[in-house]
Amino acid sequence: MMPVPLAENAKLPSSLSFDAPLSIPEATHLQPFLYPENPYWGDHLRAVNDQAWIYRRTFVTPDEDYLRARLRFEAVDYFAEVWLNDQLIGRHEGHFAPFEFDITSVLNSPGQGNELVVRVTSPWDAPNPHGTYPTDHVFRGLVKGLYEHGEGLIPPNVNPIGIWRPTYLLLDQGISIDHVRIRTDLDGTLHLDYEITNATAHTWYGQLVADVRAENHEGDGASKNADVALTPGQNTFALTLHVADAQLWWPYELGAPNLYALTSHLVDGAGETATTSTETFGFRTVELLRSPQKFEYRVNGQPIFIRGSSYIPAVYLSEVDEATFRRDLQLALDAHLNLLRVHVHISPKELYDLCDRHGMLVWQDFELNWIHDTSEEFEQRAVSLQRDMFRHLINHPSIITWSSYNEPTMVFTRRHNLEQRPVPALYEDALKLDSTRPVFMCSGQMDEDWQRSGDSHSYFGSLWSRKYTDLYSHFTYLSSEFGIETPPALETLQAYPELWQRQQHLADAIEDIWTYEADLTQYHIEHFRRLRASGCAGYVHFYLVDVVPQVGCGSLDAHRLPKGGYRALRHASQPLHIALEHDGRKPRALWIFNDTFATYDRCTLIWRVYATDGALLLEQSIHWNVAANASQEVLPVKWPIHASQCAGLELLLLDADGNTLAENHYDRPFEGHTRPKGYPWKFDFVLGTKVYDKPDAPSLASESKNKILRFVPLRVQERLAEWVLRLHLSPRVASLAARLFDRLV
């Protein structure tokens, strides 16, 4: 491997010299390979993407009988141009989907050598001279979620690049099953749509054998044969069969995640198998009931309240493996979550396989986040890659939702992504590709458009306002983001000299910030669980683990050490939970949340109020029958004491035999709801992260290139931005205001 100058429409140099090449592992992103001690921050990382990288590998053609040869890449990030034996065989864009080229006419004879050369680029975006906020200082030109963001998610010099999944030489007799789309009915009916290639010059006659077997349970299987005649080129074939007494796939809370394996064979007239493919699937249905009054998810007809968290395993996906996913999935299960939102990227297949097997639901984002190019050319590229996502993932029963774009108007004035391109085209195409799952046109920007989206992002007490109790009067059909950026564990900070040098001021503040994070997290979750009684479908916390080892929204840091948020996430997400409703000033009501299908009759709910010195001020109780799969307001709170006297509140739910079913505790619930000083505006532009109250740290608002805003004091800009972010304007009003602002600048 070697770097060469980055140039548009560059051809492979005819006189490449590999006198001093770098030897690289088979599958990795370049940055963690080149700079293992620091793949996150610094100009040395930006330089990696300022050039193209040439990979070269020689191999000998196997001594095998074949009619067709293909070269298959499991994943290359991002643009790839591929030469074999000095001939260009193809180009590809993307970072997550497998792709392949027919190399039959280019591959040398068995026993002879071949030279494979791949040119890989992942260029930086051009600057936007009219940016109003760091998130739109560039118009993102790659259909890729995991590269630099202007404000906190991913460091500014990180743009993963490289051949990061294995590459294979495939030899066959010219017949292949390229894809099987599997659709299921709850009665055991299986609808199979095959895409089959016949790369020979003649029609191929034979049988398609579809064999279904129970994969992780003892249920019955089924088999069916069908005669096929495959003409040269691409062929499609539909087959329907029935599995008796089909065992349904359930989320782990509702039942067993029963899976089946579909093995498909093409067998010729002589009984020889020409090709075989295997897919794993489950019998299940999913629907999202949407109305102006209520959102509700149902799996196999059963209501389920979503308790989730967003998830990005790492910024360099080549650094994670099945063991990483197993660990993270267990952390999610331990936190009583039933859904992972795979945030603005497509993860390696091992994640989806594990979610299928463990009954963990998945909300799948597409690769677009914040402000992108609005050209027709970009739209076409985005639609093509979204189709790759569907093709790659569509048979996974764990996936229950698609979202085509995250926060397309992250900057309030930039609405072209939402209204012109590419969002409308992505949404319409997604609906055509999959009618069996709910599709969100975008996430976080269209909560009033309940037909096409309807979710909302809630950053009260962090990005939007000073107090998290400002959330109290806010209703949502589905909260798909909430949280706050907090420091990692002290040992994680100290593990990276560049990080520690710039953030050691946080060392003594970590515990206090984590306490605030925990209180904010618990308040939000309990708020959304109360709203279930009013039509809320659930919540998705932002996010489970930090993407890089620095200040981030993760409830665990990048080393998987728990912050305050993880403890609160795990506590407040228990399927059976009790809570105090309050607005930050006084108590309102007591609630019981039961997301299980069990009922608990003749229970006792006890509440105790304590003074600052620990003295018991009040103890009361009530008998209650706990309903299944419901949020119940037990009673309004009317204490004979003033809220200011309450230094602690203990809640206890006992069953009919006196056993503890649930407990909760609040420390000073009517004070201390204000976010830490310096957040969210003080910023480190080298690390690309919030720094809280670091002396002399600049404000995010100071980077605006807008001519008008330059004359507005920074403090006013900050408050104005927070006000705009938390506004809930109708789409029409927001669009008119955005267009007016664009004309002014």
320 and 366 both lie in a single domain: yes
Q: Which amino acid is at 335?
A: A
Q: How many domains does the chain have?
A: 5
624 and 717 both lie in a single domain: no
Is residue 288, in this structure, part of any structural domain at all? no
The pLDDT value recorded for residue 129 is 76
Is residue 575, in this structure, part of any structural domain at all? no
The pLDDT value recorded for residue 15 is 52
**One-character DSSP codes across 27-49:** S--HHHHH-TT-SSSSHHHHHHT
Is residue 289, in this structure, part of any structural domain at all? no
Give, rounded to a whole angstrom, the gap between the first and last alpha carbons of the chain.
Answer: 46
734-744 in b/e burial notation, b at 16+ Cβ within 10 A?
beebbeebeee
432 and 540 both lie in a single domain: yes
Q: Is residue 137 a contact partner of residue 158, using CB atoms and an 8 Å limit?
A: no
Residue with tokens 């999935």: 329
Strand 306-311 relative to strand 538-541, pairing: parallel
CATH number of the domain residue 257 falls in = 2.60.40.10
The pLDDT value recorded for residue 730 is 66
Is residue 71, in this structure, part of any structural domain at all? yes
276 and 298 both lie in a single domain: no
CATH number of the domain residue 330 falls in = 3.20.20.80
Is residue 287, in this structure, part of any structural domain at all? no
424 and 514 both lie in a single domain: yes
The pLDDT value recorded for residue 344 is 97
Q: If you ran DSSP here, which 8-state letter would residue 286 be given? A: E
The pLDDT value recorded for residue 511 is 97
Residue 351's φ and ψ, nearest 5 degrees, are -65, -50
143 and 236 both lie in a single domain: no
The pLDDT value recorded for residue 702 is 78
The pLDDT value recorded for residue 136 is 75
State the sign of the Cα–Cα–Cα–Cα dihedral 42, 47, 52, 55. negative
Point out the domain boundary residue: 281, 315, 332.
281
Is residue 602, in this structure, part of any structural domain at all? yes
439 and 553 both lie in a single domain: yes
Residue 311 structure tokens: 């998830």
Closest CA to 149 of 283, 344, 2: 344
Is residue 179, in this structure, part of any structural domain at all? no
Range of the domain at 415: 294-560
61 and 192 both lie in a single domain: no
Burial of 271 (0-12, 13-18, 19+ CB in 10 A): exposed
The pLDDT value recorded for residue 12 is 63
The pLDDT value recorded for residue 706 is 66
The pLDDT value recorded for residue 3 is 82
699 and 656 both lie in a single domain: no
The pLDDT value recorded for residue 135 is 72
Is residue 571, in this structure, part of any structural domain at all? no
Using N-to-C axis directions, what is the helix angle for 349-358 and 322-334, rounded to 10°? 40
**194 preceded by a cis bond (ω within 30 of 0):** no
656 and 722 both lie in a single domain: no
133 and 236 both lie in a single domain: no
Strand 689-690 relative to strand 683-684, pairing: antiparallel
242 and 317 both lie in a single domain: no
Give mean pLDDT in consecutive 10-residue pieces for the chain, a chain of 745 residues.
Answer: 68 57 86 96 95 96 96 98 98 98 98 97 88 76 91 91 97 98 98 98 98 97 98 98 98 98 97 97 98 97 98 98 98 99 98 99 97 92 98 99 91 75 96 98 85 93 95 95 98 96 96 97 98 98 96 98 98 98 96 98 98 95 98 94 93 98 96 92 93 92 70 80 73 69 62
